[in-house]
Amino acid sequence: MNTLMIFLFESLILSTLTYLYLHKKTRISLKFLYLDNLMVVALTMLICYLLSKIIPVDYHWVLFLVIPALVLGIAFGLTMIRFWRTPNRKIKANASELISPADGNVLYIKKVEKGEVPVSIKKGLEAKLDEITQTDILETPCWLIGINMTPFDVHKNCSPIEGKIVLNKHISGKFLSLKEPKAIVENERNTLVVKNDDMTIGIVQTASKLVRRIDSYVKEGNAIEKGEWFGMIRFGSQVDLIIPASCKVNVEIGQQIYAKSTIIASKN
């Protein structure tokens, strides 16, 4: 029993440090210290208990070396389940409300004036989203909302409104880290512009340095429904949403939001 308590302590320390590190590096919510963290510890202890029954007592010390691998392996497995899942979420927004295109936390909310190219500003350097000028989205002032997607967020993206896809442009990049100021223009990205009778909105999917693929499920000219999944970014990424400034933004910087279920803005 004393040995199992030591295993439990080792598992808890290693798992907690892992999730604290992920929180610092990827901005995952601290709630995972109470969710996935405890699940990792429980599964690790279950496997250790079963192994202790088949391994001779004199060799139980081997489990001390196995536990780090178990913690990391189980944590990685749970993360991949969260990453690849496609949640069945009901859309509760009415016709005048826009839903979030992505899971993640809000990085910034910035005003873009009429005719001004949307810009991502990091550490004083600018990165322009020039491809958006191929549409009429900039004929009126806009809001630019940045959403950071951690590995624990769903990585499929959906349309905030229904309408017609007037732009679906893929841009190959240099795979820089999203921490770099020029990442938005030099990383791989895909820009989608959707238009209906009431408004035109844009969604920019930006990949991280580890990503080599952004999947697109739709084509230019297609009709798309509100909440329809239109693509997926592989691993850590960012989504920028461009909507008319006439809309009321319903989220705040730092807020965790969810694709399909969070009402990100509404028409005034």
What positions carry a catalytic annotation? 237
Distances (CA, A) of 197 to 9, 100, 130: 60, 20, 24
Rounded Cα–Cα distance for residues 262 and 251 (Å):
9
Q: How many distinct helices (H) and strands (E) make up the chain?
A: 4, 16
- Tell me the angle at which helices 2-26 and 36-54 cross, rounded to the nearest 10 degrees: 150
Q: Radius of gyration over alpha carbons of the chain, in Å? A: 22
Q: Give, for 4, the enclosing helix (H) or strand (E).
A: helix 2-26
Closest among 54, 60, 55, 58 to 6, alpha carbons compared: 60
Contacts 24+ apart (CB under 8 A), 48-54: 48/4, 48/7, 48/11, 49/4, 52/3, 52/4
Phi then psi for residue 246, to 5 deg, are -70, -15
Q: Give, for 75, the enclosing helix (H) or strand (E).
A: helix 62-84
Say which residues have a Cβ less than 8 Å from residue 65's Cβ, sequence separation at least 6: none
